[in-house]
Chain A
Amino acid sequence: MIDVFFQYDFLRYSFYTSLMIGILAPLVGVFIVVRRLALLADTLSHITLTGIAFSMMMARYYPAFAAINPVYTGMGFAVAGSLMIEQLRKSYAYYKELAIPVILSAGIGIGVVFISLADGFTTDLFNYLFGSVAAVSRNDFTAVAVLTAVVSLLLLLFYKELFFLSFDEEQAVLSGIPARALHLMFIVITAVVIGISMQIVGILLVSALMTLPVAAAMRIAASFKQLFLFAVLFGELSVIAGMTAAFYADAAPGGMIVVINLLILGAVLSADRFLKRKEKPVWTSS
C-alpha cells in the first residue's frame, strides 16, 4: 500500500517529509506539553497562516514574490509572532495568558485581510490549511532535511537543560542554566517545526501532531525518556497510516493523521484503564 509513494517523485518527497515531521513534531511536542505551551503552538500556527497569506497577496501584486516559497514567509511570521508573545507576556505580567488570544486573533484577523486582498480562497490556500499529500518538491525537501537535522541536534544538545527548565524552572536558573536564551531558542524551534509540518498536516492541525501523540504517550511512559520514545512511535505511526489513507481516500492528510492519532489515543486510554487498575500509587510515608 505504501509503495505508491515511491512510484511518483511528488509523492516520495511528501512521504519523506511526513516521516520527518512524525519525529520532529512529537519531539518538540513533549516539551510543549510538559511546559503547558500547547496553546502557544496553536497560536504560532495561526501566525504562520498570516505569513502565508501575506506571501500570496504580495505574489499577486509583485510577481517577483512568487519565487519565494510562502512556507518560509510563514516561518518568519511565526518567529516574529513568538517574540511578540514574549513581549506581551512581560507587559501583562499578571495576566500572561492574555498574550495568546491577542496574537491568535491578530494572526487570523490580519491573515483574512491578506487573503481577501490576494485571490480569496484558492486550492493552494486550502492545502496550507488542511495539508496535502503532494505539497513538497525536491528542493523543499532538501530544506526540510537540513532543518530536521538542525532541530534534532539542538534538542539533543539541550535536552538536559530543557528537561530541567520544564520540571523546575527556579532551581534550573539557580544552577546556572540560561533560561531566557533557551526559551527563546525553543520558541524559534517550535515556529520552524510548525512551518515544516504544516505542508503535510496543514496549519489548522499542526498542533494536533505536536500534542496528540504526547498525550497518548504520557499515559504509558514510565520515564521522561520513554515519553519521547512513545510519542515519536505514535507520531510515525499516525503519519504513515494517515498519509496512506489520505492518498487512497483522496482526503486531506491532516484530517486523516489526526483521526489516526485519536484512534491511538483512544486505544491507549482504554488499555490504560485495564492495566493501571492493579498498580496503585504508593502512599506510604518514608
Chain B
Amino acid sequence: MSADREAVLELQGVQFGYSSRPVLEDIQLSVAPGSFLGLVGPNGSGKSTLMKLLLGLLEADEGTIKLFGTPVQSFRDWNRIGFVSQKAGSFNSGFPATVFEVVSMGLYGKIGLFRFMKKKHKNRVMEALRLVGLEEYSGRQIGMLSGGQQQRVFIARALVSEPELLILDEPTVGVDADSVRNFYELLKELNRNKGITLLLVTHDIGAMSDYVTDVACLNKCLHFHGATGEFISNKDEMMRAMYGHDVSVIEHNHDHGHHDHHHDHDRSEAVK
C-alpha cells in the first residue's frame, strides 16, 4: 500500500460491543484504491457489525473509521460508495417493478428530492445494465429473473451512481453455485476494467480466494490482513486461528460436479 495514495477505507483500533459483550476488538484495516478485498469470517464473527460501522449505522466505541480520508461521522459523500446488502435479494418477488425501475432507484439519492429522472439518468441506468450483462432484461419484471440475475440487478443498482467503492455484504447467499462463479468473474472485471475498489464480505472462503487481490480474516479481531497469495499459503493456520479448530476448506477445482460438497461445507460452517 503506497503512502501517496489515500486509502479508500481505513480503520484504526476500532472497538465495538453490544452492551458489555465485545464484538470487535482492535480492528486495523486499510483498503487501497483499486484493490479487491475479501473480508471473511464465520457467522457471528462481527462481519455485519463491521458493515454497520462502515456505513455509519453504528458508532464505534473506540478507534477511528475513515472513508476517503474523512471520519465516518462527518462523511456525507455517500454517492461515492455503493452498497449491496445481504437482504437485497429478499424483496417480495411479486413486486411489480421492472429491472429498469429497480436499477433507477440507485440514482434517486443522487437526483435528490423534488427532482425527476431525466434522459441522461435513463442512459446511465442502461449503461449499468450493460455492465452486468442484463441490458435485454431492462423491461422484465424483477421477480421473473433467476437468483443470479437478480443479484446482478442489485449490483447494477449500486453501480449506477458510479461509486468508487462498492461494498457487498454476503452477495452470494441464495445464489446457485454456477452463478456464484459468474458473479465473481463480473466483480473481478469491474475491479480491473472500471477501477472500482471492492470490499466483499462473505463466509464463503473457497471460491472467493480465486478472485480477490487481498484477504482479511475476521473473528472478533483481525487474524490476517494481506495479499491473497500470502493468505493461501498460510491457509490452514489461518483457519485454525479464525475458527478455533481445524477446518478443511474444499478447494475449487473448477469441476462443476463437486458443487454439492461445496454446499455442505457452507452449511457446516453456518452451524457454528
Q: Which positions in A face B, CB cutoff 8 Å?
A: 34, 157-158, 160-161, 163-164, 166-168, 170-172, 174-177, 218, 221-227, 281-286
B146 within 8 A of A: yes
Q: A222-B141, A281-B144 are in contact. Are A160 and B108 (CB under 8 A)?
A: yes
- The answer to whether A221 and B108 have CB atoms under 8 Å apart is no
Residues of A within 8 A of B152 (CB): 286
- The answer to whether B102 and A167 have CB atoms under 8 Å apart is yes
Q: A160-B117, A164-B105 are in contact. Are A171 and B98 (CB under 8 A)?
A: no
- Docked Cα-Cα span, A164 to B139, in Å, equals 18
- The answer to whether B101 and A175 have CB atoms under 8 Å apart is no
Residues of A within 8 A of B113 (CB): 158, 161
Nearest chain-B residue to A227 (Cβ)?
A: B96
Within 8 A of A (CB), among B146-174: 146-149, 152, 157
Nearest chain-B residue to A176 (Cβ)?
A: B109
B237 within 8 A of A: no
- The answer to whether A283 and B146 have CB atoms under 8 Å apart is yes
Rounded to whole Å, the gap between the CB of B75 and the closest CB of chain A is 12
Rounded to whole Å, the gap between the CB of B70 and the closest CB of chain A is 16
Nearest chain-B residue to A157 (Cβ)?
A: B114
Q: How many residues of B contact A (CB 8 A)?
A: 45
Nearest chain-B residue to A36 (Cβ)?
A: B92
State the main secondary structure of chain A at its contact with B. helix
B85 within 8 A of A: yes
- The answer to whether A223 and B108 have CB atoms under 8 Å apart is no
Rounded to whole Å, the gap between the CB of A238 and the closest CB of chain B is 20
Nearest chain-B residue to A225 (Cβ)?
A: B101
Within 8 A of A (CB), among B60-108: 78, 83, 85, 87-88, 91-92, 94-98, 100-102, 104-106, 108
- The answer to whether A282 and B144 have CB atoms under 8 Å apart is yes
- The answer to whether B83 and A171 have CB atoms under 8 Å apart is yes
Rounded to whole Å, the gap between the CB of A217 and the closest CB of chain B is 8
- The answer to whether A177 and B149 have CB atoms under 8 Å apart is no
- Docked Cα-Cα span, A283 to B113, in Å, equals 37
- The answer to whether A168 and B108 have CB atoms under 8 Å apart is no
B44 within 8 A of A: no
B178 within 8 A of A: yes
- The answer to whether B182 and A286 have CB atoms under 8 Å apart is yes
Contact partner of B139 among A157, A166, A167, A223, CB < 8 A?
A: A223
10 pairs of A and B residues whose beta carbons are closest in the complex: A175-B109, A286-B148, A223-B98, A224-B97, A281-B144, A285-B179, A286-B149, A164-B105, A176-B109, A160-B108
B264 within 8 A of A: no
Residues of B within 8 A of A282 (CB): 140, 144-146
Rounded to whole Å, the gap between the CB of A36 and the closest CB of chain B is 8
Q: A282-B144, A282-B146 are in contact. Are A172 and B105 (CB under 8 A)?
A: yes
Residues of B within 8 A of A176 (CB): 78, 109
Rounded to whole Å, the gap between the CB of B76 and the closest CB of chain A is 9
Nearest chain-A residue to B150 (Cβ)?
A: A286
- The answer to whether B146 and A285 have CB atoms under 8 Å apart is yes
Contact partner of A285 among B91, B116, B178, CB < 8 A?
A: B178
Q: A281-B144, A286-B152 are in contact. Are A223 and B101 (CB under 8 A)?
A: yes
Nearest chain-B residue to A221 (Cβ)?
A: B96
Q: A163-B101, A167-B95, A224-B101 are in contact. Are A285 and B148 (CB under 8 A)?
A: yes
